[in-house]
């Protein structure tokens, strides 16, 4: 049986209990809103004017995720005796070989020997369309776009890196010429490639459609190739350097 002395004590605890309950509600709704924001709110907006102020580092490159390159924009001339283009696997083929993850790159003509590490991207939007902005390693290493093809399979193996900070791994990439050799290692094997295209493309202060045309070079392709990108010149980032190489027949070691 409850005594009269117990009732006032319980009543005196009600404000404290109410405050604790309200505190839990606030935490619950705040946490819930954070989750909603994480999954519902749109990505950050691309600001090309801010991008164009970047003079050191990797001028952002944007691309549509999962898009295929326009063959008319990224066509390369590969001699039949030195390279072998291969057809893209059937769409929806879940058993498609992902290829070998590249681990190290050597470009003898510029005395480059560097490790390769997988890199990801962040999503940003521009006028309602969502794009992938690819990151670059923040130390002396070459980045492999983790959604691009691996070695030895049809598709585009995309590599990037800084040219004037973080070890300047691709400082001299602009010097690479058509016909020169690139070697890439994976799983204890060496694969040899020959350069079939080089380009220095205007990037800074260009409209988004020009920048997206430049990014066609990093999209998926029907042939087996390696595409390397960085910025140029050393004192600024006004242009995009693109180097494309294809496998040399019988090049695996």
Q: Using the structure block, give the residue that is written with the tokens 């003079």.
A: 55
Q: Using the structure block, give the residue that is written with the tokens 């709110």.
A: 41
* Of residues 206, 225, 218, the one with CA closest to residue 242: 218
- Residue 17 inside a domain? The answer is no
CA 110 to chain centroid, in Å, comes to: 24
Reported as a pLDDT band with limits 50, 70 and 90, residue 200 is very high
Enclosing domain of residue 146: 48-247
- Residue 12 inside a domain? The answer is no
Reported as a pLDDT band with limits 50, 70 and 90, residue 11 is low
- Residue 149 inside a domain? The answer is yes
Q: Is the pLDDT of residue 176 over 80?
A: yes
Domain count, the chain: 1
Q: What is the pLDDT of residues 93-121, one digit of tens each?
A: 444 688 999 999 999 999 999 999 999 99
According to the model, what pLDDT value does residue 37 have? 45
CATH of the domain at 96: 2.40.260.10
Q: Which residue has the higher pLDDT, 104 or 90?
A: 104
- Residue 24 inside a domain? The answer is no
According to the model, what pLDDT value does residue 139 have? 95
Mean pLDDT of the chain: 82
Q: What is the pLDDT of residues 33-59, one digit of tens each?
A: 444 444 555 678 878 788 888 877 777
Q: Is the pLDDT of residue 90 over 50?
A: no
What is the pTM for the complete model shown? 0.76
- Residue 181 inside a domain? The answer is yes
């Amino acid at each position: 049986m409850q005594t009269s002395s117990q009732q006032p004590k319980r009543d005196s605890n009600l404000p404290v209990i109410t405050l604790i309950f309200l505190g839990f509600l606030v935490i619950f709704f705040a946490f819930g809103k954070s989750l909603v924001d994480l999954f519902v709110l749109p990505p950050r907006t691309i600001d090309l004017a801010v991008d164009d102020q970047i003079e050191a580092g990797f001028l952002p490159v944007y691309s549509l995720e999962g898009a295929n390159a326009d063959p008319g924009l990224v066509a390369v001339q590969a001699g039949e005796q030195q390279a072998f283009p291969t057809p893209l696997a059937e769409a929806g083929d879940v058993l498609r070989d992902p290829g070998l993850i590249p681990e190290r790159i050597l470009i003898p003509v510029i005395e480059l020997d560097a490790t390769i590490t997988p890199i990801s991207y962040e999503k940003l939007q521009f006028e309602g369309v969502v794009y992938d902005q690819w990151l670059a390693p923040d130390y002396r290493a070459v980045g492999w776009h983790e959604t691009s093809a691996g070695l030895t399979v049809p598709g585009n193996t995309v590599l990037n890196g800084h040219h004037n900070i973080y070890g300047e791994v691709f400082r001299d990439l602009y010097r690479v010429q058509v016909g020169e050799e690139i070697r890439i290692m994976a799983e204890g094997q060496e694969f040899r490639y020959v350069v079939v295209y080089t380009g220095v493309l205007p990037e800074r202060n260009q409209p988004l459609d020009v920048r997206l045309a430049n990014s066609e070079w990093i999209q998926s392709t029907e042939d087996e190739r390696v595409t390397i990108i960085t910025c140029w010149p050393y004192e600024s980032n006004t242009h995009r350097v693109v180097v494309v190489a294809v496998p040399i027949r019988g090049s695996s070691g």
